[in-house]
Structure 1
Amino acid sequence: MSRHGIQAPTLVRHFHYLRREADGSSNGHVANGSAFNDTKEGGALDWYTEGPGRRVGYDDLTAIDWIFEYTKERQRLRYLYSKATGLVGYAQQVLDASQIWIILIATGVAAGVLAASIDVASDWLGDLKTGFCKTGSGGGNFWLNRGFCCWGHDEWAQCQGWTAWGRALRIKSNAGQFIVEYIFFLVFSVAFAAAASLLVQRYATYAKHSGIPEIKTVLGGFVMRRFMGGWTLLTKSLGLCLAVASGLWLGKEGPLVHVACCCANLFMKLSPSLNENEARKREVLSAAAAAGISVAFGSPIGGVLFSLEQLSYYFPDKTMWQSFVCAMVAAVTLQAFNPFRTGKLVLYQVTYSTGWHGFELIPYGILGILGGIYGGLFIKLNMRVAKWRQGSRWAGKPILEVIAVTVITAVLNFPNKFMRAQSSELVYMLFAECATITDDQFGICKTGSATAGVILLLLQAAVIGFLLASITFGLQIPAGIILPSMAIGGLTGRAVGVIMEIWHHDHPNAIIFATCEPDIPCITPGTYAIIGAAAALAGVTRMTVSIVVIMFELTGALTYVLPIMIAVMISKWVGDAFGKRGIYESWIHFNEYPFLDNRDDSPGPDVPVSQVMTQLDDLAVLSATGHTVQSLHDFLSAQPYRGFPVVVDATSNILLGYVSRTELLYSLQTATTEPRNLPPSTSIHFIHNADADPRDTLDLRPWMDQTPITLNSKSSLQLTISMFSKLGLRYVLFTDRGALRGLLTKKDVWYVLDGAEDDSVGTGGGVLREEQGGESRGLLNREDSDRDSFQSPMDER
């Protein structure tokens, strides 16, 4: 139903508007039947006068208008190509088209440099907890980590340059050295974690956590000021080095996505055509996210698929190509820096020389089941901890909470050699074949009776790591969950692999091992570790294709793609039995971010939209005429809402359009200051008035969206939800024969869907709040939300 009572589907009407806009013809609805142009500012800005209206930007924590942004970009390109002629014009076109590629290449280089720097710094700080390098008379190699200090030695015991703290203090007894090193380990761990938390609290609170839930929300069309700013980038990078070095069960892989997006956002400020278009900015951020995963895993293709599968709301073919280029440049840059001096992009990158056997599909399937169980239990436990944390006495003391968790972690980590190591070093040892390990410092390749102890240590580390990761992910520090999940899955997988190896060693002639070749190792425990890691990662994130590709690029073994696929598939099925949300979606839900997944095909409540929309009687509506500058100021002061439908008059309520508070305030401010200086009694109108004198009246039609998306008030809620999620809408107006009947906003829809799954209110302490005490949740009479009641839980300085 159109707003003038003409029966026509809304999407068809909107398509015709876009087509008229592309043809350069008028798209307005005017009283006298002719297109008006009395407020045009030139050919390039004609489209602002009618249709979507002009915009002055978006407020913090509001949704963007995807249709408006892409319409604006098409008009900009049309103007550029129509005005630019000759050699100069061609050069302008080439420069305009090359801007995005320059930014993507710069982002890839920056991501690679920062990833290499974070790797080196975190490894050195992590090793500093156990000792320092002292090879010269003056100790001039103090800045070397243990790996570089002992470069060239096959075994750590042969390295004389690396000095443990117990030996540095000349402690003679083994017990005394153990106690001293335990104390140093604990003190350094607490100091690093506390410093990371202090940086976050003092300089950029958006630098906490992994940032992936927020990135998903931003790419879905939400505006978060300062989330990708310079202070956030600096704090995230430094805090990540400290947090990883502290030994907490967290990873840097997820946060590297946030780091890469921050780089892209800063570079885009150099390009007005990108920086001023929110839709195009999100395309670049999608590509930057791929670069983050590329440098995290040394997996460019996996990064592209991660962005496509996990993050991006809108991912056209051109964005895939841009993501590919950005991820490739980032990987090449990281390879050039070669931070580990091994030629590998990541420390835990391994290769396998043997294949797998058919009977191993059974333990691989078991690992898939265990991965799904781990993912389901981890999400439930982590969410319970997060809810408890809000109401506990630690709620207002994030640094003390970080210190407490770090003390517990350090006390439990040090006695277990698998837990004491850096996560990346641990994962490498779990993935590696025993034949390639020159110094088995973990005793992971022991044989005989010692293997039972290895299995117990592996399983103990997996269980304790699961509990520690559950309470760590959510602290006020930079922290990811990808590498801890891989470590927990790898520990479990390696234990299963060792069990299979022992079984084959004790019963080589069993029927199950009939396909094993003599004198060749039949079982490779490292392959079980990587399959267990893939299963655990799939269980906690619910990703599939990107995980398989990342693991393949890590191992370079095409042979193991099928087992990894099977384990990931089973893990996702088992994980989905616990709940459809992965860890990132769970945190989006917990923080109450208004994210509507356009790939979610689950049905909504089967009710008419009239039962949930804000009815006309509860709406603050503007009439087309009868306003003055002063009366409109008074109206805005009395109404807290961020947008208002505009009707012809209060009697007929024929819908004319929709205008945002931000545009109204801006237009009033510019009209009452130099050079116009209109008096408060100046008449204001939202409809064509042939008798009005432009010098003495204020025409606000250019600031009004005259083609808002409308639906019939008798439509189903499911159709409305599909419109919001597929088109990325901010609001939908409902009419009956052209007369306004109601309004529904994006956050209203989020409230409805959230209420259908969980009747609890405000569990996340996030950005959404009740409009008034005692009212039912959701169904708020506002676009986006009330200015006063809608506040960020992560407000920066």
Structure 2
Amino acid sequence: MPQPQLVQAIGLPLVIASGLSVGKEGPSVHYAACVGNVIPKFFKRFDRSYVNQSQFLTAAASAGVAVAFGSPIGGVLFGLEDITSSFRLSTLWKSYYCALVATGILSLINPFRTGQIVIFEVKYESDWKYSEIPFFIILGIFGGVYGILVSKFNIKAVAFRQKYLSNSGIKEVVLLCLFTSMTGYFNEFIRLDMTEGMEVLFHECGDGYDHGLCKADGSSKVAFFFSLIYATIMRMLLVIISYGAKVPCGIFVPSMAAGATFGRAIGILAELMFPCKEGSDQCIIAGTYAFLGAASALSGITHLTVAVVVIMFELTGAIRYIIPTMICVGVTKMINDNFSNGCGGIADQMIKFNGMPFIDVKEDHDFEDATVEEAMTDTVIALPYIGLVVQDIETLLAKCKFSVFPVIYHSENPIVLGYVQRADLLAYMNKMKKERVGGVNPEDGIRFVTDNKLVLLVEDHILNSLSNSQILEGSRDILFEPVVKFQFFRASVDASLNSVLQTFIKLGPRMLIVEDQGKLAGIISRKDLIKFELFLHHLQHENIFVSNKDYTIFSKFWEALNSLNSIVGGLVGQIRGRVLGNRGFEPIAQ
């Protein structure tokens, strides 16, 4: 197991046990995605196809969600709704089989010792009423507001963390645990494990279930109402400052927990407004509101719709409440579509904030009349097909971090013949070094490599116009043609960025070589496209995530924290001095 996954495997149980407001689905999807990225590399048929790699990653992510929640169909829908960039029927079936196998193995392991793969099961004997629809709409509005607020302030918290706390990860986690314990210990709904707390909140009263929520009368219900509202506000705050810390973490479960506490509070309010009459079958079940609030918050933070409905159904088994769940999720989506920043769920926003080269096909991208020349990278290191020596290649790999090097005919005539990737070039160099060190017999057809040997990147039979006098003697000893890719995507400098965007989305290349009248002009990658889009947006609306005013607030807050640290440090020093003094200790002479 690679080191990052090993650290996550050890850290995730400890983080969940610590009580931090983070979930487990993020690392679960990460594990699965890592496996989905490695498996295709063992098969040439899959390794060379971008489409196949994308399908493997989608299917693996589906299996990760399926295992995290015991929700195979929900996992499949999550992969199709949030992961894949283009719907294919073959992707659907791959995801289906992966989720099936994953949940089948989970069932054999029986992690909950109940014979079930769901965390808990809820059964509601009573059906919902049309008179409750206004309360469902309120829960949907809460889900949208929750998603907008938590996403917005969480990114600001991440920006503050990157600027001031990048080298203090352990201290930050310790302080987060301490703050979570201090603020949540005296509130039952924060103190409880989030899964256990949701089971309490979802439960329908009756059948011997005697939690305090079921025994509460008028005055105690009011107390529970304010306790749940406090738990909701604190959970939101804890999610904002905890998600993104240097620990394995997810966002699904804490969001569901926040929605559950708010939903149960609305359920208590509905019970107070419409008290149940003895013998009536029209009584309001407060636990259903917690269930629906959890679905709304999950939809609000992830911008998922159908997947959330199915996950909640598979998670609890509450089939009677699929339509109310759809109502809540539908209202949440309306809020997100009309009032969010248009960058998707919290994961999508974090991708854009960190500058990762991800093009979300579900969003609208409009570059107006911009051309490739405005967004491309014109700082490119190109390799002439002949004229370099091995030492030049080694120096290039040591000092230059570019991932792609175009291969050109000549520096004065930069016609692009192909390109070579840094990883392939490095692997080929290492292979030659092993042959040199191992002392391979030249009679076997492999010659020793020397640093001053000329490099031939393209064989002369490919360049028919090349004369024999241009092929230097001995250059064939170091033929790099096996690592040169001659098939590549091209774009003209005056091509529209909208057309280039469609090329990236539909054909899936990692980069396009830009030419000006048939000669090398630059390279444009997905990251260049995303950067240019953010640049255009910044010109009109400034930074969509963190403004200059935010950085001013960060600076003042950091000064306040340093002042508080100095005061606390001084008090601790005084107390320690008094304690040591009372015990008769004397300072050691320097």
TM range (shorter): 0.7 to 0.9
Contact kept? 1:288, 1:323, Cα under 8 Å: yes
Q: Does 1:430 align with 2:201?
A: yes
2:351 partner amino acid: I
Identify the residue that residue 745 of structure 1 maps to in structure 2.
525
Contact kept? 2:155, 2:545, Cα under 8 Å: no
Q: Does 1:706 align with 2:486?
A: yes
Q: Does 1:642 align with 2:422?
A: no
Identify the residue that residue 523 of structure 1 maps to in structure 2.
284
Report the Cα offset of residue 761 of structure 1: 9.2
Report the Cα offset of residue 364 of structure 1: 0.6
Task: Choose the corresponding residue for 1:413, options 181, 184, 190.
Answer: 184
Report the Cα offset of residue 400 of structure 1: 1.4
Q: Does 1:734 align with 2:544?
A: no
Note closer, same or farther for the CA distance 1:474–1:274 as it changes in structure 2 (3 Å cut): farther
- 3-state DSSP class of the match of 2:414? coil
Contact kept? 1:734, 1:740, Cα under 8 Å: yes
Task: Choose the corresponding residue for 1:460, options 215, 220, 230.
Answer: 230
- 3-state DSSP class of the match of 2:523? strand
Note closer, same or farther for the CA distance 1:651–1:763 as it changes in structure 2 (3 Å cut): same
Task: Choose the corresponding residue for 1:396, options 167, 181, 185.
Answer: 167
TM-score under structure 1 length normalisation: 0.60
The whole-number CA distance in structure 2 between the counterparts of 1:652 and 1:299 is: 59
Identify the residue that residue 236 of structure 1 maps to in structure 2.
8
Q: Does 1:590 align with 2:361?
A: no
Note closer, same or farther for the CA distance 1:325–1:695 as it changes in structure 2 (3 Å cut): same
Report the Cα offset of residue 730 of structure 1: 1.8
Contact kept? 2:189, 2:231, Cα under 8 Å: yes
Contact kept? 1:363, 1:496, Cα under 8 Å: yes
The whole-number CA distance in structure 2 between the counterparts of 1:657 and 1:272 is: 24
The whole-number CA distance in structure 1 between the counterparts of 2:526 and 2:325 is: 39
Matching of residues 320-339 of structure 1 within 5 Å: 320-339=92-111
The whole-number CA distance in structure 1 between the counterparts of 2:474 and 2:272 is: 92
Identify the residue that residue 287 of structure 1 maps to in structure 2.
59
Contact kept? 2:455, 2:480, Cα under 8 Å: no
The whole-number CA distance in structure 2 between the counterparts of 1:639 and 1:409 is: 45
Task: Choose the corresponding residue for 1:362, options 134, 143, 160.
Answer: 134
Task: Choose the corresponding residue for 2:340, options 571, 578, 599.
Answer: 578
Note closer, same or farther for the CA distance 1:416–1:630 as it changes in structure 2 (3 Å cut): closer
Contact kept? 2:388, 2:455, Cα under 8 Å: yes
Contact kept? 2:122, 2:318, Cα under 8 Å: no
Identify the residue that residue 771 of structure 1 maps to in structure 2.
none
1:38-90 CA distance string (max 9 Å, x none): xxxxxxxxxxxxxxxxxxxxxxxxxxxxxxxxxxxxxxxxxxxxxxxxxxxxx
Contact kept? 2:118, 2:314, Cα under 8 Å: no
Identify the residue that residue 307 of structure 2 maps to in structure 1.
546
Identify the residue that residue 682 of structure 1 maps to in structure 2.
454
Matching of residues 649-728 of structure 1 within 5 Å: 649-667=410-428, 673=436, 674=440, 675-678=446-449, 680-682=452-454, 684=456, 686=458, 687=460, 688=463, 689=466, 691=468, 696-697=475-476, 698-728=478-508
The count of aligned residue pairs is 522
Note closer, same or farther for the CA distance 1:715–1:282 as it changes in structure 2 (3 Å cut): closer
Report the Cα offset of residue 409 of structure 1: 1.0
The whole-number CA distance in structure 1 between the counterparts of 2:392 and 2:41 is: 41
Identity %: 35
Q: Does 1:258 align with 2:21?
A: no
The whole-number CA distance in structure 2 between the counterparts of 1:264 and 1:733 is: 29
Report the Cα offset of residue 467 of structure 1: 0.8
1:591 partner amino acid: N
Identify the residue that residue 198 of structure 1 maps to in structure 2.
none
Note closer, same or farther for the CA distance 1:354–1:721 as it changes in structure 2 (3 Å cut): same
Note closer, same or farther for the CA distance 1:489–1:445 as it changes in structure 2 (3 Å cut): farther
The whole-number CA distance in structure 2 between the counterparts of 1:263 and 1:637 is: 30
- 3-state DSSP class of the match of 2:512? strand
Note closer, same or farther for the CA distance 1:725–1:416 as it changes in structure 2 (3 Å cut): same
Contact kept? 2:490, 2:512, Cα under 8 Å: yes
Matching of residues 90-129 of structure 1 within 5 Å: none
Matching of residues 557-636 of structure 1 within 5 Å: 557-576=318-337, 577-580=339-342, 581-604=344-367, 606-615=369-378, 618-629=379-390
- Between stretches 574-583 and 533-542, larger displacement belongs to 574-583
- 3-state DSSP class of the match of 1:653? strand
Note closer, same or farther for the CA distance 1:231–1:734 as it changes in structure 2 (3 Å cut): closer
Note closer, same or farther for the CA distance 1:731–1:409 as it changes in structure 2 (3 Å cut): same
1:740-787 CA distance string (max 9 Å, x none): 3332123222321232334789999xxxxxxxxxxxxxxxxxxxxxxx
Contact kept? 1:621, 1:644, Cα under 8 Å: yes
1:242 partner amino acid: L
The whole-number CA distance in structure 2 between the counterparts of 1:562 and 1:287 is: 28
Report the Cα offset of residue 549 of structure 1: 0.8
Task: Choose the corresponding residue for 2:244, options 460, 474, 478.
Answer: 474
- 3-state DSSP class of the match of 1:355? coil
1:292-350 CA distance string (max 9 Å, x none): 22232221100111122122346632332232222223323333443334443233331
1:449-480 CA distance string (max 9 Å, x none): 32111111111111111111111112222221
Report the Cα offset of residue 711 of structure 1: 2.0
The whole-number CA distance in structure 2 between the counterparts of 1:636 and 1:256 is: 35
The whole-number CA distance in structure 2 between the counterparts of 1:384 and 1:436 is: 46
Task: Choose the corresponding residue for 2:257, options 475, 479, 487.
Answer: 487
- 3-state DSSP class of the match of 2:22? coil
Contact kept? 1:534, 1:567, Cα under 8 Å: yes
1:623-646 CA distance string (max 9 Å, x none): 344445455556666755332323
Report the Cα offset of residue 662 of structure 1: 3.8
The whole-number CA distance in structure 2 between the counterparts of 1:683 and 1:246 is: 57
- 3-state DSSP class of the match of 2:274? helix
- 3-state DSSP class of the match of 1:449? helix
2:99 partner amino acid: A
Q: Does 1:755 align with 2:535?
A: yes
The whole-number CA distance in structure 2 between the counterparts of 1:633 and 1:421 is: 58
Matching of residues 146-185 of structure 1 within 5 Å: none
The whole-number CA distance in structure 2 between the counterparts of 1:553 and 1:669 is: 51
Contact kept? 1:309, 1:543, Cα under 8 Å: yes
Note closer, same or farther for the CA distance 1:398–1:640 as it changes in structure 2 (3 Å cut): closer
- 3-state DSSP class of the match of 1:443? helix
Contact kept? 1:678, 1:696, Cα under 8 Å: no
Contact kept? 2:488, 2:513, Cα under 8 Å: yes
Identify the residue that residue 578 of structure 2 maps to in structure 1.
none
Task: Choose the corresponding residue for 2:81, options 275, 291, 309.
Answer: 309
1:433 partner amino acid: E
TM-score under structure 2 length normalisation: 0.80
Report the Cα offset of residue 260 of structure 1: 3.7
Contact kept? 2:381, 2:405, Cα under 8 Å: yes
Structure scoring higher RCO (CA < 8 A, sep ≥ 6) equals: 1
The whole-number CA distance in structure 2 between the counterparts of 1:455 and 1:762 is: 36
Q: Larger helix proportion, structure 1 or 2?
A: 2
Contact kept? 1:541, 1:582, Cα under 8 Å: yes
2:223 partner amino acid: G
Structure 1 spans left out of the alignment, 5+ residues: 1-228, 509-516, 765-797
2:258 partner amino acid: I
Structure 2 spans left out of the alignment, 5+ residues: 441-445, 547-590
- 3-state DSSP class of the match of 1:654? strand
